[in-house]
Structure 1
C-alpha cells in the first residue's frame, strides 16, 4: 500500500479551485510531506490564475504516448496532464494535491491507492460573475457553460467545499482536509507496524 496520498480537487471552471489551491499552497510551503502539482496544459503560460507548464498540442501528445503522465484528459478544447513522477511521490509518503477533472476520480483512485476527492462547489450566479471577471470566455461561452453545467457534486467525491464566500473560508477548509489526510496517513502507518 502507498504510504502517501493523492488529493484530487475537482469542480467547474471558475469555481475557485486555483485560488483555493494557491491559498493552501502558501500554507504548506514549508512542508516536506505535501506537494502541489503543476499540470501540463495546452494553454499559453500567460494565464495568471494557474501555475502550469504550457505545452503545444504535439508535445503533449508525444508525452502522453510516451507514458509521461500519470493521468491525462481533454476538456474545453485543452489537454491536461499530471506528471508521472507523482506516482512515486505518493509511494514515498508525500501527500500530492492536484486540480483534476471530475471524470478522472476513479482512475486517480486506481493509480494512487489512497485518494481523496474534494469537490469545490459554487452557486450559478457566483460562477457567472467569476467567469465574467476572469475574461477567458466570451459571454456566449459562459452562458453555454452554465446551461450544461451540473452543479451537484460528482460521483466519488469524499468532501464538498462551498466556495460562495470569502476565499479564506474555502481555503481553510482545504487546508483542514490536507492536514486530516496527513493524520490519516500517520494512523495507517501505525496500524501497519502493529
Structure 2
C-alpha cells in the first residue's frame, strides 16, 4: 500500500503585498497629477526607498504625461502573462503598472503611481498599505489645462472631467492644485516622505 498523500488543509487567502507603501495618485484630467509626481521624482532622485514606475499606455507619451508607449496587442500579451500589478481601461486606452512594483513593496519601499480611481478598491484589497492621494482643481481650471494640452487622444474635455466625479473613491489625502504648483508640491512631498 502506498503512503498517505499530502493532507489538504483549508484554503488560505493569498498573501497581501507589503510591507512597503503603495501611494496611488488619483484625480481628474488636468489636475496636475503628473506635474506633482515629476517634481517629487526629481527631488527624491537619490532616495532608493521611493520608486516612481512608468505606466505602460497604448498611446505615445507627451509633455503633459510621461509613460512608456505600448501597442494594444503587446499590452494584452503582458496582461495575460501577469505582467501588470494594476491595469485598467479609460477613454479607449489601456494603462498598466508593471508587476515589478510588487518586488519593491516586498522590500519595504514606497511606490508612487498615477492611476484611475476605478482600481483603488482592488488595490486596497491586494496591498498591505495603500495611501490614496487625490489631486484636484475647480472644473474651469481643469478644462483650461486639458484644452491647453492640444492632445487629440484626450477626447471630449467635459466628458473626461465629468467622469472623475462619477467614480467613487475615498482618498486619504486631498490636494487642491488650483494655483501656483509649489504649495501642492510641498504637500505631496510631505505625504511621500511621511511628514504630512
Query: Does the TM-score normalized on the shorter chain lie above 0.5?
Result: yes
| 1:15–1:163 contact (8 Å) kept in structure 2 | yes
Q: Gapped runs of 5+ residues in structure 1?
A: 184-194
Q: Residue 79 of structure 1 is aligned with which of 70, 90, 94?
A: 94
Q: What SS class does the counterpart of residue 121 from structure 2 fall into? A: helix
CA separation of 1:102 and 1:149: change in aligned 2, threshold 3 A: closer
Q: Gapped runs of 5+ residues in structure 2?
A: 1-15
Superposition RMSD in Å: 2.2
User: Equivalences for 1:23-172 in 2 at 5 Å?
Assistant: 23-45=39-61, 47-137=62-152, 141-150=156-165, 154-172=168-186
Spell out, residue by residue over 1:127-153, the C-alpha distance to the aligned partner (whole angstroms, 9 max, x if none): 1110111111499811333455518x9
Match of 2:191 in 1: 177
CA separation of 1:3 and 1:126: change in aligned 2, threshold 3 A: same
CA separation of 1:139 and 1:42: change in aligned 2, threshold 3 A: closer
Spell out, residue by residue over 1:18-53, the C-alpha distance to the aligned partner (whole angstroms, 9 max, x if none): 0011111111111010010100100123x1222211
Please report the TM-score for the alignment, with normalisation by the length of structure 1.
Answer: 0.85
CA separation of 1:86 and 1:77: change in aligned 2, threshold 3 A: same
Higher fraction of helix: 1
| 2:137–2:176 contact (8 Å) kept in structure 1 | yes
Q: What SS class does the counterpart of residue 19 from structure 2 fall into? A: coil
| 2:19–2:128 contact (8 Å) kept in structure 1 | no
**TM superposition shift of 1:110:** 2.2
Structure with larger Rg: 2
Spell out, residue by residue over 1:93-113, the C-alpha distance to the aligned partner (whole angstroms, 9 max, x if none): 110000011011111122221
CA separation of 1:125 and 1:54: change in aligned 2, threshold 3 A: same
Count of matched residue pairs: 180
Please report the TM-score for the alignment, with normalisation by the length of structure 2.
Answer: 0.85
